[in-house]
Structure formats: structure tokens, C-alpha cells
Amino acid sequence: MSLTGALSSAISALSAQSQALAMVGDNIANADTTGYKTTSPLFEDLVTASGSAKSYSSGGVSVLSRADITQQGLLAATSNATDVAILGAGFFVVSSAATGGTTSFTRNGAFSPDKNGLLENDGFFLEGWRTDTSGNVIGAETPDNLSLINTEIAPTSASATTTTSIAANLPADAANGATFNSSMTVFDSLGTPSTINITWTKTGANTWTGAFADPQSPSALAGSTATTGQVTGGGTVTLQFDNATGAVASVTPNRPLTIGNWSDGAANSSIALDFSGMTQFASGEATPAMGNANIEPNGFALGTLSSVTVGKDGVVNATYSNGQSVPIYKIAVATFNDPTGLAANSDGMYTATETSGNATYQASGENGAGTVFGSELESSTTDTSGQFSNMISAQQAYSAASQVITTVSKMFDTLMSSMR
């Protein structure tokens, strides 16, 4: 019986070490696989019956595999602006199809826009929350609010001018009736730029008027009269300056500049004018002139999508040909009570199990979730030198177990010879 037990134990050792060697092979094969987590063998002894000092019942060994899913891989910079990596806990949330897919989780962040603009990695589509132009999530950061990240959600971008800051020094030593000119650029709701001329006229001591002309096409300012809209509700304001500080004391009427009848059919504009930067100091020149003019409107012209990038905070930004960068999505990070309980699948994908628990969805860096970095990928956790050491150990154990089988065979032969 002891010989049979020894043979069985040695056979179990061969099987266990074969599986351990297979794990080493997988680890080495995936030494360059993005987000790969090294698998390690866990050996457990087998006991077939209770033993005593006078008898021994051999059992053998079994082996389990354990992937250290929580082990952090090194982050490596890439040239792809939509590559992403997580430093810390958590997984990217992906769908197996553009519509009606199943949810999986991964640390492999090698995503690129597909032909439809969806961020995709080998057939899996990255999910996140839609944001407003300030980067705030629209709605709640819940799984029901997740959607596939579509980089072409806004293929064009334009913004109407709603505020304009006007700063200049009007010469206090100018004569009554003196006039000076400046201009400002405005954008209508369709992103079309126009230029508005402003005529400044001194009407009395410390008093000036600013008359805003109808907007014109910038290309028409050389002498033609291509008016693009109409200033409505009055386009003249009166500025009263403080005679001690030279600062603006009052603006009459203090209301937005309104523009309608845009030639391109844009919506009416309402532009709040900020005159706090206006001053009235003497120019000290024989011919007084207006100085330090600086007019800054918000808004921007129509632009087309030129690139998509991911920021450190996990926000996906769309950059347009007009130089504007607009947040469009925030990448979701899924965390688990027991991430080691996730079920591993091909392509670096994992699915939730009863052991792992359900996913909790967080934004980058919030409530224990890792931080998302753009233009980086997480390297494999495989240490090839350590794997070669494990391979030698498995080989030696396998060889020793085979010697046990050879010895048992010879002992059986001896036993049989003694019975002849």
C-alpha cells in the first residue's frame, strides 16, 4: 500500500509541477502585454487518511492558480493621446459591443477611436459619463448614466460672444468734441466673426460717449459696407469718470449690447459690456490720443474636431481647429470589495463574481479609486528573471518526482522477484 501511495503522490507532483510550469510559460509569454497580471501557483498538500507514528498514508499535492490582480504595473508614456492607465485601485469599464453589449472590466487602456469615433480596444468599448463644457458630469455618476465614449459627439464647435471686457485710456487733455476710434470682434451663435467699430467722443469735463456701430464682416472694413447685423435697443453709452481717480464712476445706460438680424441667420446676441478697465488720464501729448486699448471678448469661431486627448483627471477633451479644447466625457473607474475574486477572461478582461462583489463606480481619484493618466499604459507585472527562477524550481521538482516513480518501479520489480 505504501508503494502505491508513493506512486500516487509522485504522479500528483508531476501534474502540479506541469501546471506551475504552464503558469510560468503564460507569464513569460505576456511579459509585454499591457495590463497583464502575473499568475502564481499555490501548492496545497493532500491527506488521504489520518496518520500515526507507526504508519504513514501519503496523499500528494494539488495546485491552484492565483493572479495578483491588485499588483500595480509600471506606467509607460506613449505617443497615443487616447491611451489611458490607472495608478492605484480600479478598472476601466468597457462594453463588448457598441449596442447591447455586456459589461467587463480591464486595466488594458490601449484605446483608439474607431471609424465611428468610439474609443475601442480590440472590440471592447470604453465607457464614461457625458460632461458639460466645464467638465462637470451631466447627471449622476451612476452605472445607469454611463455611455460609450464617442469622440465625435461634437464634430464642430462654436460659441457666441456673451461678454466683452473693454479697457483703454481716454485722454483727459482732449478738447470737447474730440473723437477716437477702436474696434471689437464679436462671434454670433453660429461662430461667424464680425467687427464693431466704437467711436469715443468727449462731451464734457470727465464725460465721454461710446457709440457702437452695426457689426460688419472683417473683410469689408477696407471700404465696403458689408453689414452683418444690427445693433438694437440703442448702441450709445455715456461714461462718467471720477475726477480724482480717473476711474469710471458710472455707465449710462448700464445694459447689454444687443444685436439682431444677423445675415447668417444666427440667434440674437446679448453682450454684457465691462467698462471697469476704462480710465481717463492726461496723455501729455501735443496731440492727445487714446492709449492702452485692450478689448477682450469671449466666444470663438466655428472649428472642426482636430484631436482628442485624455487629461490626468480622466476627462476626455476634444480640441478643435479654432484652438478651443472642450471636455466631453469623464472616464469611469470601477472598484470592488475583493478584486482578486474577479473572473479572468481573454484580452485582459474581467467580470464580476459573487466573490468580488458588485462594482462601485467612481471618477478618477475619488473615494479610493485610482488616478487616470492619459498617454500612458500600464506595463505587465511579469518579472522575467523571477519567472526563470520559478521555471528552474518547477523543473527540479518535476525531475525529482519522476525519480520517485522510477524508484517505486524498481521496488515493485524487487517485490515481484522475491515472490517467484
Q: What's the CATH code of the domain at 293?
A: 2.60.98.20
Using pLDDT thresholds of 50, 70 and 90, give the confidence band for residue 226.
confident
Residue 228 sits in the same domain as residue 177: yes
**Domain count for the chain:** 3
151 with 166, same domain: the answer is: no
- CA–CA distance, 236 with 48 (Å, rounded to integer): 100
312, 86 contact by CB (below 8 A): no
The pLDDT of 20-43, averaged and rounded, is 92
- Helix residue ranges, H only, 300-383: none
Q: Are 189 and 294 part of one and the same domain?
A: yes
One domain, residues 184 and 245? yes
Q: Residue 244: what pLDDT?
A: 95
Dump strand ranges (E) for 37-178.
Answer: 39-46, 60-67, 75-77, 84-87, 91-95, 103-106, 112-113, 119-121, 124-130, 147-148, 156-159, 163-169
Q: Are residues 110 and 10 in the same domain?
A: no
Which tens digit of pLDDT belongs to each residue from 373-408? 999 999 999 999 999 998 999 899 888 888 888 887
Same domain, 289 and 271: yes
Domain-ending residue, one of 258, 277, 298: 298
Residue range 247-261, pLDDT digits in tens? 999 999 999 999 999
DSSP 153: S
pLDDT in tens, 166-193: 999 999 999 999 999 999 999 999 999 9
Pick the closest to residue 341 from 41, 143, 66, 90 (CA basis): 66
> Domain range spanning residue 105?
75-157+304-378
149/102 same-domain check = yes
Whether 293 and 165 share a structural domain: yes
Do 211 and 282 belong to one domain? yes
- Higher per-residue confidence, 18 vs 414: 18
Average pLDDT, the chain: 91
CA dist 403 and 6 (Å) reads 11
The last residue of one of the domains, among 298, 325, 353, is 298
pLDDT in tens, 346-379: 999 999 999 999 999 999 999 999 999 999 999 9
Report pLDDT for 33: 92
When pLDDT is cut at 50, 70 and 90, the band that residue 116 belongs to is: very high
Q: Tell how strand 163-169 and strand 269-279 pair up.
A: parallel
**Predicted confidence (pLDDT) at residue 415 exceeds the cutoff of 80:** no
Same domain, 197 and 324: no
pLDDT band, residue 13 (cuts 50/70/90): confident
The verdict on 151 and 174 lying in the same domain is no
Question: What's the pLDDT at 220?
Answer: 54
What sign does the CA torsion over 68, 69, 75, 76 have? Answer: positive
* Pair 89, 34 in one domain: no
Phi, then psi, of 33 in degrees rounded to 5 = -80, 125
Q: Which of 298, 330, 356 is the last residue of a domain?
A: 298
| Residues 293, 296: Cα–Cα separation, whole Å | 10
